[in-house]
Structure formats: structure tokens, C-alpha cells
Amino acid sequence: MKTILLIVGILMATSLWADEGKDIFQIKCAACHTVGNGRLVGPDLQGITEKRNQDWLIAFIKSSTAMIKSGDADAVAISKEYNGLLMPDNPYSDAQILSVLSFIEQGGTSDENQVSATADILSNTTPNNIESGALLFSGEKRFTNGGAACTSCHSVKDERIFSGGTLAKNLTETWDIMGSSGVATIIRSSPFPVMNMAYSKHSLTEEEVIDLTAYLKSVSQERYYQRSSDFSIAFAIFGLVFFTLIFMVTIALYFKRKSYPVNYDILNRPSKVVN
């Protein structure tokens, strides 16, 4: 009886461990990686445990940046292969990472979104999609679920976009680096903490994902024909005109104001002496 209970306990623990690995993979890894469905933002992870030893994988998953800075040859080579695109650090324990690796060894996921993400999602897009993407990126058109405009944090080299944020990466060459599937996957479910938090309750529709991807592809392809916009002279002229206007209004409103804190006409009026 004890043996049976022990076996059942081991099976239950193994099942829970596998489920944890699946959950972590789908939440954190699936945005950039597939298992057997081809390259996405990052490499296909099928057979990764046969290519790298366990200790190396744990260290790399925890902090690829630290591995690259340490000069690890394999980590540096991966960084160069993916144009310096770094995987975010992960706060998982060794046991949690091993559960993810076990999930990958068992074949990973067959998530339909991942399969479709590897296809060319822009095959049926038109200039209207690009225009819609530009409006969404700049904030002139609101996202369906109320998410913040991309220019809140990002910028691009596009004459149509007046300005952009500096909190996050300039996205002008992003499509060249990631391709359509990579860009779309990041927009759908970002692995980056700040972006993930910003859109966790304001997810984008599939149409919005396609429009933004089409726009970023257009930006990447047209970047050589864009001029760098310099608004310093325009701002200086506008500032001078605005200051002059405010100055003239101030003079007009206070032209007849009292010059002193008391009314000198009353003060200097002759007074009658009462006997």
C-alpha cells in the first residue's frame, strides 16, 4: 500500500512540475520562442537540452546579459546571430527553469497562435493597414481596449510622426531584426515587464496587431527616404509670438491700474476745518 501511495505521489508531483513548466513557458517564453514551429523572435527551442548542458541553460535563462558580459563564447555568438537583441532576465529558481526545460523536452506547446505567428501575417495587407497602424502608433486613433499610444514610450523615423517617447527603444529598424512574425508576437504578448504591465488589461485586437506590424514594416523599409525633422526654429518663432501676445494682453489689461496702494486724489483733496 505504501509503495502504491509513493508511486501516486511521485506521479502527481511530476504532473504538477510539468504543469508549472508549461505555465511559465506560455506566460514568459512563448512570445519569443516556439518548440518545433520554427524561429520566432528567438530561436526554436526544440532539442535545446541536447545542444547545451543544464548548468549553462539555467545561467543563460536567468541572465543572458550577464553571460554575454562575462564573455561566454556561446552566449556572445547567440547575441550576434540575433543582432544584439537581449532576452530579459528571469527571476525563476533553478527548479522552475528545470520544469520549463522538462516541458520543452516533452515536445513543448502546439499553441495555435504560435503556429500562425510563423506565417506571413502581412500577406493580405493594404496601404490602409499601414495608415491605420500609423494612427494607432501616434495615438491619433485610440486602441479598442484603451491601451496607451506607442509614442508614449517609443519613437520611429517617420515624418508623419511629430515626436515620440524616449523611455524605450527606437523601433525604426525593428522589423528588419525580427520580421513580421516576431514583431506581431511581441505586440500580442510582450515578454518585457514594462510593456507587459502596460497592456495586461488593455490587450490589442488581432486587427490592431496586423496594422501596427504593417506600419513598422513600412517604417523600416522607408527609413532611408525620411528626413530628420528639426523643429527648433519653429519652436523659437512660436515662443516669440506667444510671448509677445501675452505681453501685449498684459499691458492692455493693466494699463489703467492704480500706480500706488492708495488713491492719491482722495488723499490730496483739501479738507474742511470744522471749528
pLDDT in tens, 138-188: 999 999 999 999 999 999 988 877 777 888 888 998 888 778 878 888 888
Q: Does domain 127-225 have CATH number 2.170.120.12?
A: no
215-145-26 Cα angle (round to 5):
80
pTM: 0.59
Using DSSP's 3-state secondary structure scheme, residue 251 falls into: helix
How far apart are the C-alpha atoms of 125 and 81, rounded to whole Å?
Answer: 29
CB 229 within 8 A of CB 161: no
Fold identical between 2-110 and 127-225? yes
User: 1.20.58.220, 1.25.40.10, 1.10.10.10, 1.10.760.10: which CATH number matches 2-110?
Assistant: 1.10.760.10
Determine the residue type at 173: E
- Contact 204/188 with Cβ under 8 angstroms? yes
How is residue 195 written as a grid cell? 510593456
Taking residue 14's Cβ as centre, other Cβ atoms within 10 Å add up to 12
Q: Are 76 and 64 in contact (CB under 8 A)?
A: no
The reported pLDDT for the residue numbered 113 is: 46
The grid coordinates listed for 163 are: 515626436
In whole angstroms, what is the distance from residue 258 CA to residue 129 CA?
A: 63
| pLDDT for residue 263 | 64
Please name the residue that has the C-alpha cell 505586440.
Answer: 187
Task: Scan for cell 499553441, then name that residue.
Answer: 111
Q: Which DSSP letter does residue 224 get?
A: G
Q: Mention every residue, 6+ apart, whose C-beta is less than 8 A from residue 54.
A: 98, 101
Burial of 173 (0-12, 13-18, 19+ CB in 10 A): middle
Rounded CA separation 120/129 (Å): 15
- At 46 the pLDDT is 87
- Residue ranges of the domains in the chain? 2-110, 127-225
Residues of the chain with pLDDT under 70: 1-18, 109-120, 227-232, 255-275
Supply the DSSP string of 118-163, one letter for each residue: TS-TTTT--HHHHHHHHHHHHTSS--TT-PPPGGGT---S-TT---
Q: What is the pLDDT of residue 230?
A: 59
Nearby residues of 30 by Cβ (< 8 Å), 6 or more positions away: 109, 111, 113, 114, 189
Separation of alpha carbons 153 and 187, rounded Å: 14
92: cell is 525563476
